[in-house]
Homo-oligomer: A and B are copies of this chain.
Amino acid sequence: MILILTSNTQPGSADFQKLMNHLDALPGIKTRVHTERGDEQTLTELYLIGNTKALDLEDMQNLPCVERVVRVSQEYRILGRHKGDDRPSHFDYNGVRFGQDTFHVFAGLCAVDTPEHVEMMMKAVAAAGQVCTRMGAYKPRTSPYAFQGHGKACLPYVFELAGKYGIKVIAMEITHESHLHEISEALHQTGNPTGVMLQIGTRNTQNFELLKIVGRQTEMPVLLKRGFGITLDESLNAAEYLASEGNRNVIFALRGMKTNMGDPHRNLVDFAHVPVVKRLTRMPVCIDPSHSVGTRAAGPDGILDVMHATAQGVAAGANMVLVDFHPVPTKALVDGPQALLMPELSHFLEDVQIAREAYLKRVELAARYNQQ
């Protein structure tokens, strides 16, 4: 059960104390306080955990400071959508808003290789009017003998170049808690020229210890990829690990399911789950067409499968796209064959724009019909 307090309730106030005393006296109930400090107001939510079935909704609504009470279903307590739940489904980071109603493309390098390639990428992204990109410094690889990314060594130049080109947010995968500190430090040392969205890959979706540690910091938002061999429900529970530790600025990414039923694509694209995630949770939804499709094959209509998959996700309401580009794919150290080429960036963005506009029209249409 969640008690949403009237905004700007002060933890030191007499009413708040009265409320807490009352809750402490409830048998078998523990209380966890979550405070969200915005620019204009502070929102406080109290999570009651334990035998909440025994509590009466009306009783709770009459307690001091309580504006509204939401009885949560068993799962996704914090990130989930519950009946009568109008908590926000967006957050701001480094001047960029991410929500279930926004849309951003993160075009960039799957794996950072050279400063030259990073700069070419940043420059192209900026020239196309974008403020987000993806850059891989830490790469989990199936074989221990494969290239594992340049790690912290590349962070300073990646961040500086981002700053130079006005990039506000870089999505960057981390595979170990130490990367958290390496990124923080490199940002600090370079004067915070950009922001980082921490990405958890599909092999670590159920690496709960990493999730807990990443969830304990609230400085950077988190992009959690769906596990490619587990159910959607299990992946959403994994997202809840982040939130239960304190960080609710979580974006959920679909990236295809691992099964040869997806052949000749690398994975079986699962973007029909875009509206499902938006219905079950308040997380913005990202799609990763590059890893889902994993090929540069094109249809007889001259459109790459990667673009088709992207358009599908976007036309159904995806809020973010993570897509691999590379200036010289043949020289890419990881996943070169699936990368788009620099001259394709503007085509890609225009194509995505058509799909996004179609989605917005579809929403308007539905609103009109649902009003009737």
Name A's B-contacting residues (CB within 8 A).
49, 75, 77, 81, 89, 100, 140-145, 175-176, 203-204, 206-210, 212, 227-234, 237-238, 240-241, 244-245, 257-265, 268-276, 278-279, 292-293, 297-303, 305, 307-309, 311-313, 315-317, 344, 347, 350-351, 354-355, 357-358, 361-363, 365-367, 369-370
Q: Which secondary structure dominates where chain A touches chain B?
A: helix
Q: Most B CB atoms within 10 A — which of A234, A245, A369? A: A369
CB-based contact B308/A275 at 8 Å: yes
Set of chain B residues within 8 Å of A209, measured between Cβ atoms = 175-176
Q: How far is the CA of A210 from the CA of B203 in the complex (A)?
A: 12
Q: Are A299 and B275 in contact (CB under 8 A)?
A: yes
Select which of B240, B259, B299 is within 8 A of A261 by beta carbon: B259
Q: How far is the CB of A319 from chain B (nearest CB, A)?
A: 11
Known contacts: A229-B228, A275-B303, A278-B299. The answer to whether A144 contacts B240 by CB under 8 A is yes
> Hey, which chain B residues are within 8 Å of A75, CB to CB?
143
**Known interface pairs A230-B229, A232-B264. Does A308 touch B316 (Cβ–Cβ under 8 Å)?**
yes
Which residues does chain B contribute within 8 Å of A207, judged by CB atoms? 175, 203-204, 207, 210
Complex interface: chain B residues within 8 A of A358 (CB): 311, 315, 354-355, 357-358
Contact B272 A299 (CB under 8 A): no
Closest CB-CB distance, A182 to chain B, in whole Å?
A: 13
Whether the pair A362, B351 counts as a contact (CB closer than 8 A) is yes
A173 to chain B minimum Cβ distance, whole angstroms, is: 12
A-B contact pairs, 25 of them (CB 8 A): A143-B237, A144-B208, A228-B229, A229-B230, A229-B258, A230-B258, A231-B260, A231-B263, A232-B261, A264-B276, A265-B273, A265-B276, A272-B312, A274-B308, A275-B308, A279-B300, A301-B362, A301-B366, A302-B366, A303-B362, A303-B366, A308-B316, A312-B315, A354-B361, A355-B358
A142 to B284 alpha-carbon distance, docked (Å): 21
On whether the beta carbons of B311 and A315 are closer than 8 Å, the reply is yes
12 new A-B contacts, CB < 8 A, other than A261-B270, A272-B293, A355-B358, are A77-B145, A81-B300, A140-B206, A141-B208, A145-B244, A259-B260, A272-B309, A276-B297, A276-B299, A308-B317, A347-B366, A351-B366
Give the one of A144, A262, A370 with max B CB within 10 A.
A144
